[in-house]
Amino acid sequence: MSAFLKGPLPQHLVDEIGQELRCVEEALAQEVRSQVPLVSEVGLHTLRAGGKRMRPAFVALAARGTGLPFDPARARKIGAAVELIHMATLIHDDVVDHAGLRRGVQTANALFGNTASILAGDVLLAKAMRIFAEDGDPKIIHTMSVAVAELAEGEVAELSARNVFDLSLPEYLEIVRLKTASFIRGCCTAGALIAGAPQETVEALARYGEAVGIAFQIVDDLLDYRGDKAKTGKPVATDFREGCATLPLILLRDRLSDGERDVARRKFGNGVSDDEVRMLCNWMESRGCFDETVRTAQEYVARAVGALERLPKSDGADLLRTLARMVLERES
């Protein structure tokens, strides 16, 4: 998360948010422990592999952004719960994708096997549900239940779209909305509810979360093609190799000759070589696909920032604006 906290921010705010996330990290270290040693091993391995802890940050910053008093300890607990859910989805994703590395570290399934990883991920999901139940706010429980259901539906939708070279832009954006943006929307909504915000503020922060979540995923899909492998922790064009059509490829399709399109279609999810990947990325770069992908992400960031206009002036709202803009600058 520290990468998102660079920029024109007062140091005391950076320090405060950093301290909040350290508290979340400590809570997570406790929550992933289990009376069953294998669950603890899988959970601790996933936790120690690192991460931005962006979703707990959105909970805390949304609460702060309301300009209302709130209980930081409660925000940390809900933040830990949403990160447990995120960790569980990463564990399950790596099983589905047969991934051996994430962020340059061996995945849980590579170390402990698919069955142990799936079951341990289920435990993390159950622990998150327990935290929400103990918190007892029916609005937060409903919000996060909807978000988790949509996240899971998004994962299934993405799976159904595997090897669909001609995936349309609306279909792609709906997958992004479900699998990524809905959960960030839920985190921001939960933060607003923790602060007891009025409905207008809750809805504004929900719109912010959805728009910034879409921008985040678009940038992630861009980095898949032009990111630094050392920073992203995965091979270039992993999506293309696995038959996942994302925005850079969707934009490229209509900028290819018939012969080029036939080559791309034939190699999509079907054993593309590194030389062919370089050729594909060169096409995307030279034909403006990367630039247009950035512009699309910028449009969603602008929507996110615009949604905050209804919030009162506060350090928290300023941090949310800065965080949205920094999504465009991420390198991993």
The CATH number of whichever domain residue 20 belongs to comes to 1.10.600.10
Taking residues 105-118, report their average pLDDT: 88
pLDDT over threshold 90, residue 97: no
Per-residue model confidence (pLDDT) at position 232: 64
Taking residues 185-208, report their average pLDDT: 97
Confidence of residue 3 (pLDDT cuts 50, 70, 90): very low
Confidence of residue 242 (pLDDT cuts 50, 70, 90): very high
Phi-psi domain of 64 (left: phi exceeds 0; alpha: psi -120 through 50; beta: other): alpha
pLDDT over threshold 70, residue 283: yes
Overall number of domains in the chain: 1
pLDDT over threshold 70, residue 259: yes
Tens-place pLDDT, residues 139-149: 999 999 999 99
Q: CB within 8 A of 41, min separation 6: which ones?
A: 112
Per-residue model confidence (pLDDT) at position 2: 46
Confidence of residue 111 (pLDDT cuts 50, 70, 90): confident
Taking residues 276-305, report their average pLDDT: 97
Tens-place pLDDT, residues 46-93: 888 877 788 999 999 999 999 999 999 999 999 999 999 998 999 998
Task: Please check whether residue 167 is in contact with residue 250, taking contact to mean a CB–CB distance below 8 angstroms.
Answer: yes
Percent of the chain with pLDDT over 70: 94
3-state class of 105 per DSSP? strand
φ/ψ of residue 102, rounded to 5:
-145, 125
Least confident of 32-36, 103-107, 187-191: 103-107
CA distance 176 to 179: 5
3-state class of 101 per DSSP? strand
Q: What's 92's DSSP letter?
A: H
**Other beta carbons less than 10 A from residue 127's beta carbon:** 20
Residue range(s) defining the domain that contains residue 124: 2-329
User: Would the pTM of this model clear 0.85, i.e. be above it?
Assistant: yes
**C-alpha Rg value of the chain to the nearest Å:** 20
Confidence of residue 45 (pLDDT cuts 50, 70, 90): confident
Percent of the chain with pLDDT over 90: 67
Per-residue model confidence (pLDDT) at position 47: 83
The chain-wide mean pLDDT, for the chain, equals 91
Confidence of residue 233 (pLDDT cuts 50, 70, 90): low
